[in-house]
Every structure is written in structure tokens, then in C-alpha cells.
Amino acid sequence: MIRQLLLRPLYRLYRAFLRKQVLRGPVPKHVGLILDGNRRYGRMQGLKDTQAAYSAGAAKLDELLDWCVDLGIPAITLWVFSTDNFARPAEELNGLMAVTEAKLRALAVDPRIHQRRVRVRAMGRIDLLPPSTVAAVRAAEAATQDYGDVELTFAAAYGGREEITDAVKALLRHELHSGKTPDEIVESVTPEAIGRYLYSPHLPEPDLIIRTSGEVRLSGFMLWQSVYSEFYFTDIFWPAFRRIDFLRAVRAFQQRDRRFGR
């Protein structure tokens, strides 16, 4: 405890130094985050159940939004729940859904969301979620639908392969209804056409993708959109992620030579 008190002023100084550094350079227009490590954090902290761990992770979102607004980052996409997560034990799954619902309902009425004109959206196979979770999603979307200064997107019931599959299916359905021949339909399947049918085609491709908890893989997150993304992996569990960790990630992004295949 004494050590923490002694280090606190140094931490504040270092945080201010990092922020000043980062503000000198270009910041990402879109940051994607894989929010990993909630359960391991809970075990490390001795939390009574996984729902408590997920609640700690949900609380961190408010801080993240502050950090992004401070740096002028206009789009954030959070992977909160994958299609593979449906295979988890029912008790754990119910806890995750309950926390997600509570957070979405809180965002819908949060004065800071409305002051900052944050648009909240969800992408994924939303219809697979429980009806109460879908209702919370739609309530948050409806409450913020007129905003656009910041785009906050929740990837829920989301998988990168599923997104590409659904985009191709939607494209083919559209082309079939247009009366084209099979050969014309085949020729219509282009990267540009598929891109128009992704879950959130209006969003810019993510410049930076951050994954917490030490896992060094995307696990299917935004497979199509991340072709030129920069990746940043950290050992820190998501609920323990700090402002300095976020600033380090953005600074690492600024230090990359982004040539986009050129």
C-alpha cells in the first residue's frame, strides 16, 4: 500500500508524458479491442463468480471512452462476445449476458454519452442473443441514433468468418433478385461488393487492433477489415487495462511504417 502511494505521483507524471507524446502524432481513426482476460482477472482477484469479473470489465469501458475522446479517436469497436462463446457453461453465459444488458441499458441513459454525441451500435448475429439482450441493444441504438461524433460498436455474437459468410449471402441474394444471369452474378462478387454487405460497412477499417491478456492472435476479429490494421498485444487483463497501457498502444501504432502494400 505504501509502495503504491509512493509510486502514484510517478505514474501520473509518466501518464502525462505519454499523452503529450501521443498528441504530437496522428491518432487512429478507428480502434478495435479484443477484451480478453476477464475470467483470469477474476480468479486472480478472488472474485466470487465470473459475472463479477465481467462487471469489472464492463466498468472499464467508461474509462476507455474517456481516453478515446481525449485523444480524438472517433470510432471504437469492442469484441465482447463471439459466436464460439455460446459453447460456454450456461451459468457463465447467463452472467455475461446480464452484464452486457446492464451496460447497454446504462449507456442509453448515460449523460456523458449524450453530451459527447456517442452513437452506440451492435454488429454480429444479434438475433442469436437472448430477447432481453436484443432489447437492450435496440434501446441503446435507438437512444443514440441521431449522434455520430463518436461511433461505439459492440461486436456481439460475432465471428469474422460468419461476417464474411453473411456478407456473401446477402450480396448473392441481392444479385439473384436483380434478374442477372449466373455468370453475371459470379462476376459481381468482388471485394468492393462484399465490403458493402459487412455488418458495419460505414465504419472505416480499423487502424489499430488491441488484444489484452497475452493472447497473440485475432481469433477471427474483423478478419476482412484488418488487412492493413496494426496489431498491439499486451499481457494485461482487460479489467486491469490502464490509460498508460492504452497510450503505449497508440504510441506503438504511431511508430509503425504503414505502407498499405506499397
Where in the sequence numbering do the catalytic residues fall? 36, 85
Residues 6+ apart with CB under 8 A from 163: 123, 124, 198, 199, 222, 223, 224
